[in-house]
Amino acid sequence: MPANKKRIFSIAVAVLFVTFAFIRYSADHQEASGQVREVNVETDSIVFHNLKELEDFSQLIIVATPTKKFNDRSQKSTTFPDGTLQDFASFNELKIAKVIKAPSDFDQTKTWIEVAEPVAIVKEGNSSAKLKKQGYTEMKKDSQYIIYLSKNAMGQYSVNGITGRYNLDGTDTDDTDAKIDEGHKSQLREEVEAKYPELIKSKMK
């Protein structure tokens, strides 16, 4: 691949194995319910510089709505033999409204799908912490999104990071926080809005 294309398509390799050395505790940011501490886990992340890069990378693109609240979703984490955190995710059941892109083996008649998100509540001794990769926040129950997905090492469809989903109905204010990724999401959101104006139920801000 020519050098200029390498620069354009500079996608960092996602780190699947995370250790506690990468965890930055945000002690002043807690959930009101149960006082669960929120922890930002910094990893190398996939960076998409425009919507075409994101669409080309994604294996599945859908419009869908979560059917369960975050605390009602399956939460999983794995550790290395020495007890060090390896990886974590929550599993979100979505009601599919529209399939925009799919591989040939995907059943486009199905009305729901379970996808992995890089956020989960993980037990730490006698307490719990809500771990979030790169500031990712979970999709909200009954909110509608356009979602960009790829299969992970376990064959599960996973959201492509914080730039892998966009709220369409204006009901998820966390999704519009451009500060979490230095403006990349804000730029991509504008491209999503321009390409799919018919999907926007409330103008994304």
- Please state, rounded to an integer, the average pLDDT across all residues of the chain: 81
Q: What is the pLDDT of residue 29?
A: 40
Name the pLDDT band for 66 (thresholds 50, 70, 90).
very high
pLDDT at 199 over 50: yes
Predicted TM-score (pTM) of this structure: 0.80
pLDDT at 177 over 80: no
Cα–Cα separations (whole angstroms), residue 149 to 2, 81, 85, 103, 119: 27, 30, 24, 11, 15
Contact predicate 148/131, CB 8 Å: no
Share of the chain above pLDDT 90, in %: 55
d(CA 121, CA 91): 11
Q: Give tens-digit pLDDT for 114-157.
A: 999 999 999 877 788 999 998 899 999 999 999 999 999 889 99
d(CA 97, CA 201): 14
Mean pLDDT of the 180-194 span: 81
Extract the tokens encoding 57.
Answer: 């990378």
- Domains observed in the chain: 3-199 (2.40.50.120)
The most confident of the ranges 14-18, 41-45, 141-145 is 141-145
What is the Cβ-side half-sphere exposure of residue 5, based on CA atoms within 13 angstroms? 3
Longest dimension (CA), the chain: 53
Task: Give me the DSSP letters along 30-86.
Answer: E-TTTTPEEEEE-------SSHHHHHHH-SEEEEEEE-S-GGGSEEEEEE-TTS-EE
Degrees to nearest 5, angle at CA 111 with 108 and 112? 110
